[in-house]
Copies of this chain bind each other. A is one copy, B any other.
Amino acid sequence: MLIVHKYGGTSVGSLDRIENVAMRVARARREGNDIVVVVSAMSGETNKLIEYANHFSKTPAKREMDMLLSSGERVTAALLSIALQEMGLDAIAMTGRQAGIKTDNHHTFARIESIDTKAMRRELDEGKVVIVAGFQGVNEAQQVTTLGRGGSDLSAVAIAGALGADACEIYSDVDGVYTTDPRIEPKARKMDFISYDEMLELASLGAKVLQSRSVELAKKLSVKIVAKSSFSEDKGTVISKEDEEMEEVLVSGIALDKNQARVTLRQVADRPGIAAEIFSALANEQINVDMIIQNASTDGTTNLGFTIPQSELERAKEVLSGFDKEFGSADFDENVCKVSVVGVGMKSHSGVAAKAFSVMADNNINIEMISTSEIKVSMIIDQKYGELAVRTLHDAYKLDR
């Protein structure tokens, strides 16, 4: 089997931990697998370098940031290669460029355009463990680029896709994806399998494990991800295409997202296109509008309500101030949260949403907004009821079994 391993910053956060990673890789190799390892910078390194840059400038040039930040992963890759060689394994460390990772031109947030696997294949064919510095590539002009937060996961998934690997094992300090946040519901259970789409909807649960960009790429390239802990022997959670077995599971998880703010614009002028204008302006500022509710009122105006990430609220206020002639008043409420019930089983079973609503009613929790998709029911509620809602829903769908 050809397996891609990816180790995050915490997993390579000290020399002892790198040694531990080397032992895992050596074991997998000695079991007869071909192994490519993608590594992050040692934890703390990237933030240290960002602080250094900010000492000189609040807005350092992105091209220079990429040269700066790409150095941390190279260090880890070289050290891991040295550790493996000392254990008697053939190993070779490669930079993003040497591994053939070509990106577009967007410094600090580049997209992988293609991977020329020739060099990696040659080393694998010679029986070597290939270690690739994650998070980085080169653009057409051979300038170093980086892929943004979570970029090493992207490197790993893209490499697994390009090489047609049997699996991409993403190691962190969490041993998989849980039915909900165990800090909220101690009965939360680690899942064995989850589909790409569920994982995307459960982003807030999986954020510590891997980011949405990587899941989307894995789905696109049909790469089987295994989310595992580098500190335990747990077999982790497989994230892959949904199969029949998965569809028998009605609900797989409950997610809570506290990074929510509700915006209500009252007495919006009832002229065609005004909503579109406002939402385009927000989109241009990269503000993600989630749920939208529009109520016609009796005086020829409407009320327009929507949710955005709390962290984008200040920028949203600025954008909206440009439209202040178009509405009467604006309300901003940060005391809300979003609870989501997710499961591919919903596609073929009805009654999931109804049950969620009745659980909320039984607990006297007012649902302020609702949005549903094929595999998800999301509800905006008062933030103080968030944890209660998660626990009662987790119980109601019997997720602890």
Contacts and interface: CB of A to CB of B under 8 A. Distances in A.
B83 A143 contact: no
Interface in A145-187: none
A304 interface: no
A64 B49 contact: no
A124 interface: no
A389 to B, nearest CB: 46
Contacts of A143: 98
A85 interface: yes
Contacts of A55: 15
A291 interface: no
A212 to B, nearest CB: 29
A67 B56 contact: no
Contacts of A61: 81-82, 85
Chain B CB within 10 Å — which of A55, A67, A93 has the most? A67
Contact of A75 (B19, B68, B79, B81): B68
Interface in A58-73: 60-61, 63-65, 67-68, 70-72
A67 B95 contact: yes
Interface string A75-102: 1011101110110000011010110000
A64 B93 contact: yes
Contacts of A71: 71-72, 74-75
A202 interface: no
B86 A57 contact: yes
Nearest to A58: B86
A264 B72 CA distance: 51
Given A60-B82, A61-B85, A67 B53 contact: no
B82 A74 contact: no
A67 B57 contact: no
Nearest to A143: B98
A379 B30 CA distance: 61
Interface of A: 15, 18-19, 22, 49, 52-53, 55-57, 60-61, 63-65, 67-68, 70-72, 74-75, 77-79, 81-83, 85-86, 92-93, 95, 97-98, 142-144
28 contacts: A15-B55, A18-B56, A22-B56, A49-B75, A52-B75, A52-B79, A53-B78, A53-B79, A53-B82, A56-B83, A56-B86, A57-B83, A57-B85, A60-B82, A64-B78, A64-B81, A64-B92, A65-B82, A67-B74, A67-B77, A67-B93, A67-B95, A68-B79, A70-B74, A71-B72, A71-B74, A95-B144, A98-B142
Q: Which 6 A-B pairs have the closest CB atoms?
A: A68-B78, A71-B71, A57-B86, A56-B83, A67-B78, A60-B82
